[in-house]
Amino acid sequence: MKKIFFLLIYLGISVIYLNAQETKKINIINADIAIDESSTRRTRMLDNVIFQHDSAFLYCDSAYFYNAQNSLEAFGKVHLIMNDTIHLFCRRLIYNGNTRIANARNEVVLKDNTMTLYTDSLDYFRNDNYAYYPKKGKIIDEEKQLFSDIGFYFSDFNEFHFQKNVLLMDSAYHLLSDTLLYNTETNIATILGPTEIIGEERYSYCEKGWYNTETDDAHLYINVCATESTKISYCDSAYYDHLTQIAYSFGNISATDTVEQITIKGNYAEYHRSERFGFVIDSAVAVFVDEKDSLFLHADTFFIQIDTSEKIQYISTFHHTKFFRTDLQGACDSLIYVASDSTIRMYSKPILWSEKNQMTSDSIYMFISKQTIDSMIFYHNAFVIAIDTLKNYNQVKGKTVIALFKDNEIQRITSIGNAESVYYIRDDEKSLIGIDKASSSLLYILLKDNEFESVTYIKDAKATTFPKKEFPEEYKKLRGFQWQEARRPLEKKDIFLKD
């Protein structure tokens, strides 16, 4: 009995399913002329021809109707209306009532409430409500145009799938892609392959993401590249909010100003376009590019200000700032690079090392000319220490110290105001002659090969030269002496070490 019961249920379900799938016949609504061609088992219909198939209506100039096959072939001004919202126009159409597939050819136009598609060959699958065109197609509306070699349109979702030579054009950008999804209702283009977005002033590349053609918002990822004016940048992913005009970048960021020859790197960045400023954090590094020896600068945070000509105005860093170049290293808490006069200004316990010299003060200004150091000014509590080959410390301090450079080496040091010095005097054979302890309002020091060569006292000088054995221990180090070699970055990676 149980077997019979389940068999009856199965047969009942099968009958219901078959009835639901019963094929509906194509109905002839009108034709001014109908000619029965029995030899070909078709009816030729002319003038004001109208067919109906379930919810679809087809209008044409002439047609061949195959009643036995439940199909037709329409010619002339063909117009197929589906569900009252989808309109298909063409010059020739084959429609199969059994499969509910329409094959439109020649001057094909597909329209619904959200878009108009033009192509020369299109197949529409009514059972699944999608269209396919194997040849070039285009969508045109008041604001944008979209072209591709191959396309699918899913009318239930208002979504196109474009393939090969995809071009999306609007008033602001041209988007070139290999594979693209486009929703005609949300105006969002979803990027699924190598894609270029080309604007009047900006260019972007990515391999995945989305772009809102109405709001200009975009989220790009995988091999993201963007160029604007003299700047080029790379990152793992980027998001641009057009309303706030803020661009967000994430992961392996590298932004280069090709004029200033500066590259800034990090793992998170923002650029506020309306305010022309941005910041970079998370392993932030700036590289001041030089053909011979680039400078690598790190800090917890970088702020970058852009001027109206889209050039870097200044870069400021905050907290745990360190930099490395083969012939110059430095550390401080905050730093400002001013592009207009090529100066680097260091604040909060700044310190510099140049070969055998260590230089400190309350603040330091470094002047750069043609990518080489021209001079430095040390403001307030300036202190210069130079260690010689015998580990003795030549020292000079004062209110202000000025260091002049040539070929990136210190040539002369001038100490102004309350100047003091300790100088180990040597002959040409590097033998120690004596140790000079002096104070003066103004003094000059000449250096050779980054070592003290001579000291000249200009005003209010008080100097004493001691033999080595008679030099008082308390004179060996001037007040405020601190040898800070442990803070010194000895290679590029050391700029990430915290003091």
CA dihedral 322, 323, 326, 327 (to 10 degrees): -90
Tokens 């061949």, residue? 64
Q: What percent of the chain has pLDDT over 90?
A: 63
Decide: residue 370, CB within 10 A, 0-12 exposed, 13-18 middle, 19+ buried.
Answer: exposed
State how far the Cα of 438 lies from the Cα of 455, in Å rounded to an integer: 10
Strands 101-111 and 71-82: unpaired
CB distance 331 to 351 below 8 Å: yes
State how far the Cα of 89 lies from the Cα of 106, in Å rounded to an integer: 9
Residues in the chain: 499
Cβ neighbours of 113 (radius 10 Å): 10
Cβ contacts of residue 30 below 8 Å, gap of 6+? Answer: 48, 49, 50
Beta bridge partners of 324: 296, 329
Cβ neighbours of 38 (radius 10 Å): 7
pLDDT digits (tens, 9 = 90+) for 106-158: 999 999 888 899 999 999 999 999 999 998 999 887 778 899 999 999 988 98
CB distance 224 to 203 below 8 Å: no
Confidence grade of residue 22 (pLDDT, cut at 50, 70, 90) = low
Give pLDDT, residue 76: 96
pLDDT digits (tens, 9 = 90+) for 412-450: 999 999 899 998 988 877 788 899 998 998 888 888 877
What average pLDDT score do residues 49-59 get? 95
Q: Count CA atoms closer than 13 A to 126's CA, side-chain side.
A: 23
In the numeric block, which tokens belong to residue 101?
């597939």
Q: What is the mean pLDDT of the chain?
A: 89
Beta bridge partners of 306: 312
